[in-house]
Amino acid sequence: MQTIIDRFIKYVQLDTQSDPSSPTTPSTEKQWVLANLLVKELKAMGMTEVSIDENAYVMATLPSNVDHDTPTLGFIAHFDTTPDFSGTNVAPRIIEAYDGGDIELDAKEKIILSPSYFEDLKQYKGQTLIVTDGTTLLGADDKAGITEIMEAMDHLIKHPEIKHGKIRVGFTPDEEIGRGAHKFDVQQFGADWAYTMDGSQLGELEYENFNAASATITITGKSVHPGYAKNKMVNAITIATALLAALPSNEVPEKTTDREGFFHVHHFQGTIEKTVVELIIRDHYKAHFEARKNTLQQLTAALNEQFNDCIALEMLDQYYNMGEKITPVMHIVDIAKEAMETLGITPIIKPIRGGTDGSQLSFMGLPCPNIFAGGHNFHGKYEYVPVESMVQAIKVIVKICELTAQKAK
């Protein structure tokens, strides 16, 4: 466990935040530091075909050690962290034999990680937790996944008695800003299928996710002195609020769960002359997804008719439900499920209320379910990861490799 802890802490202490406003890949220069470190470590442990391209995508191979043909497996994780919360000067703390109570993250600011609010903590009583110092995120999303893949490959190299086919590993930039798979070379990777190690709690196994679109609404108004504004002023703020009020009030993130979709306004900036609203549209069902987009188009058209075409709507599909591509090859989910059950882990199979590199990769020809990496409360100061969950994730990777080779005989 100490080796796992040391590797993980080394990775999270490197600031790798991505930047959605940057046009480059990776979007930040600092992501290169971890990417180059991974290349060095992969070579040192004995992986072959280690490469890094001009966009910082890292790939490597563990050759087969069996004498029969097997599918080529892939394991993928991303090394950037979210731009929405600080990843600078991450100072992890280790809580050994967690007692089940409150964890004080920052005494000065009275920041408490409490099981009374984060109920999942209760299931990790007695385990070793890695937490933040209350000022940054931790970076388990997805440096826990990277740690697990690296440790699993190192274990297989050191234990040749564990039989496996050819294994490919890949580490990507910019997943947190939706670009992690954009320049991923599926053909070069050469796997028959892969798994992203990017899920949350122990046992998660996911092969469905949202269909997703983004929308930017720009409203152009006319500013006139309010004392003389009758029939002359066009208030862009008022029009924007009317449009948003017309959307279903219960179909927002804070009021939906499971397979329920939503509209989510995440940016609003306005004056009388110009107001910009940015939102995302999410739904697991393709028909409902299309209906949501149509709803927004109809609302915009109706207001444009009322206010002389003052509204511009830009809507862009971002990714789709990978279940469409994985359901025809469900044996790849079944293998992961069997691996977990063999290890005494109860699989938690549920749709992702979000996206994953695996979604885009599945539509690029690389079916790619998602497996737990063990972390909780991603993208904020309350993030934590139980070390025992990371250990189990490593075992799952190894067992998947072993089972796939056995089933190919």
Instruction: Give catalytic residue positions.
Output: 80, 175
Q: Are 283 and 351 a contacting pair, CB within 8 Å?
A: no
Q: Rounded distance, CA 218 to CA 42, Å?
A: 48
CB burial of 62-78 (b: ≥16 within 10 Å; e: otherwise) equals bebeeeeebbbbbbbbb
Q: What is the largest CA-CA distance in the chain?
A: 86
Q: Which amino acid, residue 110? A: K
What does the alpha-carbon distance between residue 233 and residue 221 come to, in Å, rounded to a whole number?
A: 8
- 83 neighbors 177 (Cβ within 8 angstroms): yes
CA 293 to each of CA 215, 249, 286, 318: distance values in angstroms, whole numbers, following the listed order: 9, 16, 11, 13
Give, to the nearest 10 degrees, the angle between helix 140-158 and helix 2-12.
Answer: 140
Number of H helices, E strands in the chain: 10, 17
